[in-house]
């Protein structure tokens, strides 16, 4: 049985969605973020030393990293659905997006989250304006332009085809859902990106996406 070690409000929602798209049976082991630090609870380190979510266990294997988990599940159980065959140009494109999602577009989105927390974190009155000033400058000078660059790049990619992998919905779309949802929530994805907004509407309307939300529980970024 596939077990998803699922942290609330996290990337593991994508794995539940993939499993629903594939129509596979799975169980969920739930973990709650610390409300102050937002970190995962220490129990998750018993499953994988980094204690990050998602982690999936299946058939004696313990797998971490969203992209690796998505590729494993789709290759093993997809029966040629959702992921193109290895060695094809379509597979290269699909792999590109799996790596891009975590390796390229997520880092500036994570920086955005961190610097916004710096702006609002409690601090002595004489430190607060300095911390706020530095956080604001880093966002304006680096983080926001980087996010804008990625959003306009992805907006342009969706002018070429309906889905990121091409004509068919696939794992690339599942992988990119999290950064795009994060950008919609944290800033960066806006009315200048009508195709990305339409993409989010399309994925949110998918029955498998909605089933995954029901199983995963509350999801807000
Ligand atoms: N690149 C990793 C990132 C894993 C990650 O940072 N997950 C977050 C959830 S979205 C997490 O576990 N955060 C809690 C923590 O770091 O303790 C992946 O895609 O699996």
CA of 53 to the centre of ligand 1 (A): 5
> Where residue 212 falls among pLDDT bands split at 50, 70, 90?
very high
* CA within 13 Å, CB half, 45: 6
- Pocket test of ligand 1: the residue of 52, 103, 179 to mutate, having most ligand atoms within 8 Å of its CB, is 52
Atom of ligand 1 nearest to the CA of 65: 20
- Which protein residue's CA is at the shortest distance from atom 11 of ligand 1? 52
3-class DSSP assignment, residue 25: coil
Domain of 116, CATH number, reads: 1.20.1050.10
CA of 54 to the centre of ligand 1 (A): 7
In this prediction, residue 122 carries a pLDDT of 84
Inside any domain, residue 221: no
Whole-angstrom distance, CA of residue 113 vs CA of residue 66: 20
In total, the chain counts a number of residues equal to: 221
Inside any domain, residue 195: yes
* Count of structural domains within the chain: 2
Inside any domain, residue 114: yes
In this prediction, residue 202 carries a pLDDT of 98
Average pLDDT over residues 83-91: 97
Inside any domain, residue 13: yes
Together in a domain, 98 and 172: yes
In this prediction, residue 218 carries a pLDDT of 83
> Where residue 121 falls among pLDDT bands split at 50, 70, 90?
confident
CA of 209 to the centre of ligand 1 (A): 20
**217 secondary structure, DSSP code:** -
**Under a CB-based contact definition with an 8 Å cutoff, are residues 52 and 44 in contact?**
yes
Structure tokens at 116: 């916004």
pLDDT tens, position by position, 89-103: 999 999 999 999 999
Residue 112 predicted with pLDDT over 90: yes
Structure tokens at 12: 């593991």
* CA distance readout (Å), 44 to 51, 70, 74, 129, 165: 5, 19, 24, 37, 32
Q: Specify which residues 163 forms β-bridges with.
A: 166
Output 104 or 120, whichever has higher pLDDT: 104
Atom of ligand 1 nearest to the CA of 69: 20
Domain range for 145 is: 89-206
**Under a CB-based contact definition with an 8 Å cutoff, are residues 171 and 82 in contact?**
yes
- Pocket test of ligand 1: the residue of 8, 47, 53 to mutate, having most ligand atoms within 8 Å of its CB, is 53
Atom of ligand 1 nearest to the CA of 11: 10
Q: How far apart are the first and last CA of the chain?
A: 29
Rg of the chain, C-alpha, whole Å: 18
Together in a domain, 93 and 202: yes
CA of 77 to the centre of ligand 1 (A): 24
> Where residue 221 falls among pLDDT bands split at 50, 70, 90?
confident
Closest among 168, 1, 160, 158 to 83, alpha carbons compared: 168
In this prediction, residue 123 carries a pLDDT of 84
Together in a domain, 104 and 12: no
Residue 13 predicted with pLDDT over 90: yes
CA of 149 to the centre of ligand 1 (A): 23
Could you identify the residue written with the tokens 């992988």? 175
Output 133 or 220, whichever has higher pLDDT: 133
**Under a CB-based contact definition with an 8 Å cutoff, are residues 2 and 58 in contact?**
yes
Residue 126 predicted with pLDDT over 90: no
pLDDT tens, position by position, 180-193: 999 999 889 999 99
Helical H segments across the chain, by residue range: 12-22, 66-77, 89-100, 106-120, 128-138, 144-157, 171-186, 194-204, 207-216
> Where residue 124 falls among pLDDT bands split at 50, 70, 90?
confident
Structure tokens at 80: 């040629």
Chain centroid to Cα 68, Å, comes to 13
Domain of 55, CATH number, reads: 3.40.30.10
pLDDT tens, position by position, 147-194: 999 999 999 999 999 999 999 999 999 999 999 999 999 889 999 999
CA of 124 to the centre of ligand 1 (A): 30
> Cβ < 6 Å from ligand 1: which residues?
7, 10-11, 39-40, 51-54, 65-66, 102
């Amino acid at each position: 049985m596939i077990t998803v070690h699922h942290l609330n409000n996290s990337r593991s929602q994508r794995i539940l969605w993939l499993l629903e798209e594939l129509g596979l049976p799975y169980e969920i082991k739930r973990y709650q973020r610390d409300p102050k630090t937002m970190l995962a609870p220490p129990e998750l380190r018993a499953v994988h030393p980094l204690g990050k979510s998602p982690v999936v266990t299946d058939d004696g294997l313990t797998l971490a990293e969203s992209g690796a988990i998505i590729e494993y599940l789709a290759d093993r159980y997809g029966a040629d659905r959702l992921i193109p065959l290895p060695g094809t140009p379509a597979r290269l494109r699909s792999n590109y997006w799996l790596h891009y999602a975590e390796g390229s577009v997520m880092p500036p989105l994570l920086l955005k989250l961190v610097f916004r927390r710096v702006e609002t974190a409690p601090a002595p009155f004489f430190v607060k304006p300095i911390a706020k000033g530095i956080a604001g400058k880093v966002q304006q000078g680096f983080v926001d332009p980087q996010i804008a660059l990625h959003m306009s790049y992805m907006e342009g990619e969706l002018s070429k085809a309906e889905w990121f992998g091409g004509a068919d919905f696939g794992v690339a779309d599942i992988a990119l859902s999290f950064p795009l949802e994060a950008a919609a929530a944290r800033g960066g994805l806006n009315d200048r990106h009508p195709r990305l907004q339409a993409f989010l509407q399309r994925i949110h309307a998918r029955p498998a996406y909605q089933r995954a939300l029901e199983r995963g529980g509350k999801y807000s970024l």
